[in-house]
A and B are shown apart, each in its own frame.
Chain A
Amino acid sequence: MPDEGDSEPREPIRAPLAWSGLLLLVLLGVPWYLPEGTIGPVLLGFPLWTLGAVLSSLAICGYLSWMLLSLWETPEQRTGSPGESPRETPHDGNGDTNGHGGAV
Chain B
Amino acid sequence: MDTLNFSGRSGVLVLASYAALMLIIGFFAGRGGSGAKRSPKDHYLAGGNLGVITLFFTLYATQYSGNTVIGYAPQAFREGFAWWQSVTFFSMIVAGYLLFAPRMYVIAKEHSFVTPTDWVSHRFGSTPLTVLAALLMLWALANYLLEQLIAMGQAITGLTGSTIPYQVGVTAFVIVMLAYSWSGGMRAVAMTDIMQGVALLLGVGTLLAGAVVLVNDLPRGGGPTVLAEHPEAMAVPSTADSVNWVSMVLMVGIGIAMYPHAIQRVYAARSARTLKRSLLPMVWMPLLTAGAVFAIGLLGLELFPDLSAQDSERLVGVIANEVAGLNVFFYVMMILLFGGVVAAVVSTADSALLSFSSIVSTNVYARYIRPDATPRHQVRVGKAVGVVAVSGILLLAWNPPSTLVEIFTLKIELLIQLAPAFVVGLYWKRLAAGPVFWGMLSGVLLAGGLAIAGVDAVCGIHGGMLGLVLNLGICVLGSLPHRRGRTEHRSGVGSEQRAPGEVHSG
Contact = CB atoms under 8 A, between A and B. Distances in A.
Given A53-B84, A91-B114, A95-B110, A104 B103 contact: yes
Given A46-B227, A85-B48, A91-B113, A27 B246 contact: yes
Interface string A41-72: 01011110110011011101100110111011
B236 A91 contact: no
B235 A12 contact: no
B110 A89 contact: yes
A90 B113 CA distance: 9
Given A85-B271, A101-B103, A46 B234 contact: yes
B98 A72 contact: yes
B237 A26 contact: no
B279 interface: yes
A3 B237 CA distance: 42
Interface size class of A (residues with CB under 8 A): 35 or more
Interface string A71-96: 11011110000011111111111110
Interface in A1-50: 1-3, 9, 11-13, 22, 26-27, 29-32, 34-39, 42, 44-47, 49-50
Contacts of B289: none
Contact of A74 (B87, B276, B488): B276
A69 B280 contact: yes
A29 to B, nearest CB: 6
Interface string B405-428: 000000000000000000111111
Nearest to A90: B112
A99 to B, nearest CB: 7
Interface residues of B, number: 71
B273 A13 contact: no
Contact of B88 (A2, A26, A32): A26
Contacts of A100: 106, 110
Given A64-B95, A102-B106, A102-B488, A35 B236 contact: yes
Given A61-B287, A68-B283, A104-B103, 14 more contacts: A26-B250, A39-B227, A39-B235, A42-B227, A47-B81, A53-B81, A57-B286, A57-B291, A64-B94, A64-B95, A72-B102, A75-B271, A93-B495, A102-B110
Interface of B: 48, 81, 84-85, 87-88, 91-92, 94-95, 98-100, 102-103, 106-107, 109-114, 118, 122-123, 223-224, 227, 231, 234-239, 242-243, 245-246, 249-250, 270-274, 276, 279-280, 283-284, 286-287, 291, 423-429, 486-493, 495
Interface of A: 1-3, 9, 11-13, 22, 26-27, 29-32, 34-39, 42, 44-47, 49-50, 53-54, 56-58, 60-61, 64-65, 67-69, 71-72, 74-77, 83-95, 97-102, 104
